[in-house]
Amino acid sequence: MTRTQDIPLLKKQIAEIARLCWERGYIGAIDGNISARLEDGTFLITPAGTIKFLIQPENVVHCDANGRPMDGGRASSETAMHVACYHERKDVRAVVHAHPPTAVAFSLAGISLMTAVIPELVVTLGAIPTAPYGTPGTEELPNSLRDLIRCSDAVLMERHGAITLGVDLLDAYKKMEQIEHNAKITFMARQLGQVKELAPEEVRRLLATRDSLGIKTTNVLCNHCGNPMAKGG
């Protein structure tokens, strides 16, 4: 777990990841929020209402475990989602929430990414479940996520965005990039024709390679048990 003396470094990394998300188009203007948890259960999070490419390390807000700012500043309006992630997952040390446009478009169209179509994604991330719609800025949003984040590091949020959980900031960011990259590939494939899912036996073979590749992910293909792959597996 991150030590409290690492706070300046973590604040710098949060500002860098915020800028990266903005540059890559995963966040527009003031959307999204990024946090990292310290060993004492408190966490650092991006401030409310700031354009993500302008965030400086000193703007990052230090919150207690319940999301209340400890040293002033105004924490992100979606801080409750981060509290829910850290509450549900003791192993998680960083959370990235963004609005990756292709992935969000899938949720607007009502098309699930909870399918096994790209082998690399099956191995590294599993499938991406979608949390039901919750009104932003209310308790509905964190509550809509709780079930899914217990068994998934990457969740799409209906009509809103995506949230990724990681062992550190780069790990959580990496999963956000994977969500959008794979949504783009799936989108393009759907323009070209029908997208076929991998056969259940191939999915089993792919999942069996995780151990030898040293991939430790919470995501499986039976998240929320609404996935047809669960029946195959």
C-alpha–C-alpha distance, residues 55 and 52, integer Å:
6
Minimal CB distance to Zn ion: which residue? 161
**Minimum distance from CB of 221 to Zn ion (Å)?**
26
Number of shown-chain residues binding Zn ion (CB under 5 A): 1
Of residues 145 through 164, those in contact with Zn ion by CB under 5 A are 161
The widest CA-to-CA distance across the chain, in whole angstroms, is 54
CB of 104 to Zn ion, least distance (A): 10
Give the C-alpha separation, 50 to 33, whole Å: 10
For Zn ion, the closer of residues 67 and 161 by Cβ is: 161
Contact flag: residue 134 with Zn ion (CB under 5 A): no
Give the DSSP per-residue string, 80-128: HHHHHHHHH-TT--EEEEE--HHHHHHHHTT--B-S---HHHHHHT--B
What distance in Å separates the CA atoms of residue 123 and residue 81, rounded to the nearest whole number? 27
Least separation in angstroms between residue 77's CB and Zn ion is 9
Q: How far is the CB of 208 from Zn ion (least distance, A)?
A: 36
Interface contacts to Zn ion, rule CB under 5 A: 161
